[in-house]
Amino acid sequence: MRLLEGQVALVTGAGGGIGRGIALRFAERGAAAVAVHCRTSVAAAEEVAERVRESGARAVVLRADLRDEDACHRLVRDAAEWGGGRLDALVNNAGVQPVRALAGMGADEWREVVDANLSSVFACTQAAVEVMGEGGSVTHIASVEAHRPAAGHAHYSAAKAAVVMHARSAALEYGPRGIRVNSVSPGLIDREGLAGDWPEGVARWLDKAPLGRLGRPEDVGDACAFLASPLASWITGQDLVVDGGVSARPTW
């Protein structure tokens, strides 16, 4: 299904993992051009870009440190210029997920996570809306931890909860311009080596997930492609949880 026929899209943090799945799904669903952003993983981003081209879309790799507000604005401008002066869809996927106990966490550690996961979303969205003009879609990648925190992730969970609320607030303000803003909250997404790195956590997730598996990057990509498509033309300010049903479990 070519749901995104002709769209020009920018996916941040697209060098690997979830970002790769999103970029590839956009190409497979008919996007004309996908800008693949990375901060340091240039080789991996180039591989993603090549796979995007194999799916029939144009692709370019753009580097930027999104902890810097000016860099966010430059990234969006560069993507739009490369796209022929257009930007139809932005997916704010870039972020970090360090583990650190709240007790003893320094303000610098807190700011690093907030800047990477939340402030970048603010700056990239603000820049993208100016390029889009009238009409377009913005999707933030949040997390199930925006709704249910995990130990050692207080900074991450707080930032992701704020990302969900930013999407709702932006949807309210940009709706009159025809720009839709939503968020996607993934659950545990598989990656190479995850089962070996965190066997206990993977086992717990598989035990609790009604659908009986971990998520795949493409699962998140499908959600993002839907939200950027005409099928979601009357959906804005919503958080789509993609977690295999884990959040349906009672917590008492």
Active site (catalytic) residues: 156
Angle at 144 between CA 135 and CA 115, to 5 degrees: 65
Is-contact 4 229, C-beta < 8 A?
A: yes
- The Cα–Cα gap between 90 and 231 comes to 17
List Cα–Cα distances, 96 to 6, 90, 144, in angstroms: 31, 19, 15
List Cα–Cα distances, 123 to 25, 67, 120, 226, 239, in angstroms: 25, 9, 5, 24, 20
The H-or-E segment that residue 227 falls in is: helix 217-228
Is-contact 149 197, C-beta < 8 A?
A: no
